[in-house]
Amino acid sequence: MAQDDLDPGENEGRIPQARRLAEQALAAERSGDEDTADRLFAEAERLDPAAVADVLEEDSATAAKPRRQLRAAPLRRAPGLIAKSGPTAAGLHAWHPRGSTGAPRTGGHKTSFAITLNINEQRHEVTVDARATLLDTLRDQLRLTGTKKGCALGQCGACTVLCDGQRVNACLMLAVMAQGKSILTIEGLAGDAGLHPMQAAFIEHDAFQCGYCTPGQIMSAVALVAEGKAGSDEQIREEMSGNLCRCGAYANIVAAIREVARREE
Amino acid sequence: MLPFAYTTVSGTTNAAALLAQAPEAMFIAGGTDMLQLLQESVIAPSVLIDINGLPFHGITESDEGVRIGALTRLADIMANETIKRQFPVLGRALQETASPQVRNMATAGGNLLQRTRCLYFRDATVPCNKREPGAGCSAQDGQNRMNAIFGGSPDCIAAYPGDMANALIVLDAELEIRSGNGERRIKVEDLHREPGNTPHIETCLRPEEIIAAIRLPFSAHARNSHYLKLRDRASFEWALVSAAVAVEITDGTVRAARVAAGGVGTRPWRLPDVERMLLDRPLNEAVALTAAEASIRGADARPGTQFKLPLLRHAIERALLMAGGLQ
């Protein structure tokens, strides 16, 4: 259902959308991009002025700077909706921005962390937001862009890295929770002697077309062979099910893995 | 994703206390469902409390059965030799759960508490009673092919999506539940609630309670247990319908039977009518067929879920044939 088909008066789901836009607007403002900030704030206010007000209030509580003035616009929400957005009896309301006491909702816990990540046997000191995934931290902060961002929901496997030797989706792991782990990305796979055998086999078997899923496929394949689960083509296909390839290079991917597994026997 | 704070804990009492201080805080363990829910703005916790430091890891064995710590990863449960031998339905259900990557991250406790895959729950731009109480249910007349045919209400027909819970139910599994006030035990079967008019309350857990462990008793029916999962693609996909069966057959007669189904209920769905049709009978083709026909009693299918009726019957029949050594 396209969002424009919805009557705003009947759609409380716009509140999270408004919050998200206001968040993005704040980020744009911080980076000095006033035009984008204005556009996003206007859009967010159109959807739900109250949600924008909440976001600004939270921001001013932490940032100790003058609060941006709401430029808006009379409340456009339909009667009846406002009552619904209070906390529910069960206290499980998803979008109430503060605890019942009115205290900052983070309860004094930290939202930003200076951490050390062990990536490809090198220590990296980074400061991350609690929300930052390992994937975004690798790509945006450490410029290790070999790990790809596909769905960001754990469904495509493009972000597969090894964590303490086990394959994981870097998009489903918070960076702050990767402390103390040993992370291996595609950049750390090749040694001084050249490409890892799996990388070489992917090239030899033409196991990719556009190449976007390839780093994830290779990391997953390396773990699969190490786990001893490349016993048959059927097993390889099953064990590679967490890595999608929209170009459909599956037959050649299986061939490359089969060859490496056979050589390592 | 909205801002949230993050903190770690190392004791159950601390965890419970932290949650009590910040009612909008949530626990995070493996994070595989949590990160999806955060990315899609389905939930907005104030604080994430990382419970990986709690002593709930690993699998231990006694004369009575097996205890699985709630923080044990799915891949480790699946690979355990005792689980494979004594509780094959569980090993199989996990083998067919998610992807190898996800199974390396996801925990036993988190898997039980995963949220529904209903399209409208996962889309924060449309009404959903489970996400926003009182907002309305978009699935009733919407795209509800993945939704439930048992246990629904006018407020919610979201299906419970997991595999492991169905297997645990036919194994008579129990949960150790901890809080600041001590421990209690419940059956896995009693964990999940039907939606009624409060679909946002999904389990019988109180806010400060944590699942510490799963307990599996050894039994003859557990050793003869099977899982069959039917889905839109061969692997890494949610169940349209799944069948979990555990049957004890002595001298050609069924002495104990447990049957549950996934993908069809608003909670993991036990099928007592099917179990009754099996007890004290031989498990042959005719009995399997008759028992499977009882599986759809009381179903409330929509046009989008009509196909699940024959699919469920056939899945139950085939799983029973497997349990009877007939397939």
pLDDT tens-place string over residues A134-177:
999 999 999 999 999 999 999 999 999 999 999 999 999 999 99
B 221-260 residues with CB < 8 A to A: 234-236
pLDDT tens profile A39-95: 787 777 666 666 666 676 666 554 433 333 333 222 222 222 323 333 333 333 333
A201 and A263 Cβ atoms separated by less than 8 Å: no
A174 and B133: CB-CB below 8 Å?
A: no
Strands (E) in chain A, as ranges, are 112-119, 122-129, 160-163, 166-169, 182-184
Distance between alpha carbon A226 and the CA centroid of its chain, in Å? 27
Contact B6/A169, CB-based, under 8 Å? no
Q: Which residue has the higher pLDDT, B250 or B208?
A: B250
Interface probe for A, chosen from B125, B128, B203, B204 (most Cβ of A below 10 Å), is B125
For residues B4 and A131, give the distance between their C-alpha atoms in angstroms, rounded to a whole number.
7
A vs B, Cβ pairs < 8 A, gives 174
Q: Using CB atoms, which residue from B21, B52, B126 is nearest to A107?
A: B21
Is there a contact between A16 and B5 if contact means CB atoms under 8 Å apart? no
Chain A residues touching B135 at Cβ < 8 A: 12-13, 84
Q: Are A252 and A203 in contact (CB under 8 A)?
A: no
Q: What is d(CA A154, CA B36) in angstroms, rounded to the nearest whole number?
A: 8
Q: Is B74 on the interface with A (CB under 8 A)?
A: no
Put simply, whether A6 touches B (Cβ < 8 Å) is yes
Out of B22, B104, B126, name the one closest to residue A107 (CB).
B22
**From CA B6, how far away is CA A154, in angstroms rounded?**
21
Q: Higher confidence at residue B319 or residue A62? A: B319
A222 phi and psi, to 5 degrees?
A: -60, -45
Pairing of strands A182-184, B26-28: unpaired
Answer for the pair A127, A116: CB distance below 8 angstroms, yes or no. Answer: no
Residues in chain B within 8 Å Cβ distance of A136: none
Query: Which residues from B are below 8 Å from A91, CB to CB?
Result: 23, 207
- Alpha-carbon distance of B35 to B102, in angstroms, equals 12
Give the strands of the sheet with B5-8, arranged side by side.
B5-8, B47-50, B26-28
Q: Which of A58, A95, A154 sits opposite B102 (nearest CB)?
A: A154
A90 to B200: CB separation less than 8 angstroms, yes or no: yes
- What's residue A71's pLDDT? 32
Cβ neighbours for B62, distance < 8 A, ≥ 6 positions apart: none
Nearest Cα residue to B46 out of B25, B16, B73: B25
Total-model pTM = 0.83
- CB spacing of A168 vs B101 below 8 angstroms: yes
B112 CB near a chain A CB, below 8 Å?
Answer: no
**CB nearest to B124's CB, from A16, A130, A154:** A16
pLDDT of residue A42: 72
Instruction: Please indicate if any CB of chain A lies within 8 Å of the CB of B143.
Output: no
Interface of A with B in 126-155 (CB under 8 A): 129-131, 133, 152-154
Q: Which of A13, A99, A131 sits opposite B126 (nearest CB)?
A: A13
For B36, which of A154, A160, A242 is closest by C-beta distance? A154
Instruction: Record the tokens describing residue B214, joined without a space.
Output: 């799963």
- Which tops the pLDDT comparison, B152 or A66? B152
Sign of CA dihedral B31, B34, B40, B45: negative
Task: Return d(Cα B153, Cα B158) in angstroms, integer.
Answer: 9
> Which of B21-25, B34-38, B94-98 shows the lowest mean pLDDT across its residues?
B21-25
Judged by a CB distance cut-off of 8 A, whether residue B9 touches chain A is no
Q: Do B28 and A174 touch (CB under 8 A)?
A: yes
**What integer pLDDT is reported at residue A97 of this predicted model?**
37
CA closest to A168 among chain B residues: B101
Which pLDDT tens digit goes with each residue over A226-246?
Answer: 999 999 999 999 999 999 999
Q: What is the mean pLDDT of chain A?
A: 79
pLDDT of residue A50: 63
Q: Is residue B42 less than 8 Å (CB to CB) from chain A? A: yes
Q: Is the pLDDT of residue B159 over 80?
A: yes
How far apart (Å, rounded) are the C-alpha atoms in residues B152 and B200? 13
Interface probe, candidates A177, A179, A254, chain B, greatest B C-beta count within 10 A: A177
- Could you give the percent of chain B with pLDDT greater than 70? 100
Q: Which residues contact A229 (CB under 8 A, 6 or more apart)?
A: A235, A236, A239
Residue B74 has pLDDT above 90, yes or no: yes
Measured between alpha carbons, how far is B101 from A184 in angstroms, rounded to an integer? 14
- Over 60: is that where the pLDDT of B51 sits? yes
Q: Alpha-carbon distance B154 to A123, whole Å?
A: 54
**Residue B203: beta bridge partners?**
B192
Nearest CB to B31 within list A90, A93, A172: A172
Q: Is the CB of residue A29 less than 8 Å away from at least one CB of chain B? A: no
> Between these two residues, A192 and B70, which has the higher pLDDT value?
B70
Write down the ipTM of this complex.
0.96
- Which position has the token pair 């092919």? B145
Tell if the CB–CB gap between B50 and A177 is shorter than 8 Å.
yes
- Burial class of B186 by CB neighbour count within 10 A (0 to 12, 13 to 18, 19+): middle
Chain A residues whose CB is inside 8 A of the B128 CB are 13
Alpha carbon of A258: minimum distance to chain B alpha carbons (Å): 18
- Structure confidence at residue A14 as a pLDDT band (50, 70, 90): low
Q: Is B201 on the interface with A (CB under 8 A)?
A: yes
Q: A107 vs B5: CB contact, 8 Å cut-off?
A: yes
**Count of CB atoms within 10 A of residue B167's CB?**
32
- A12 vs B34: which has the higher pLDDT: B34
Cα–Cα nearest to A168, from A203, A202, A133? A133
Q: Which of B48, B102, B200 sits opposite A92 (nearest CB)?
A: B200
- For range B30-37, the mean pLDDT: 98
Q: What is the pLDDT of residue B92?
A: 98
CB-nearest partner of B1 from A94, A131, A238:
A131
Contacts of A84 in chain B (CB under 8 A): 132, 134-135
C-alpha span between B182 and A148 (Å, rounded) = 45
Residue contact B46–A105, C-beta within 8 A: yes
Terminal alpha carbon distance of chain B: 49
Determine the distance in angstroms separating the CA of B109 from the nearest CA of chain A, rounded to an integer: 17
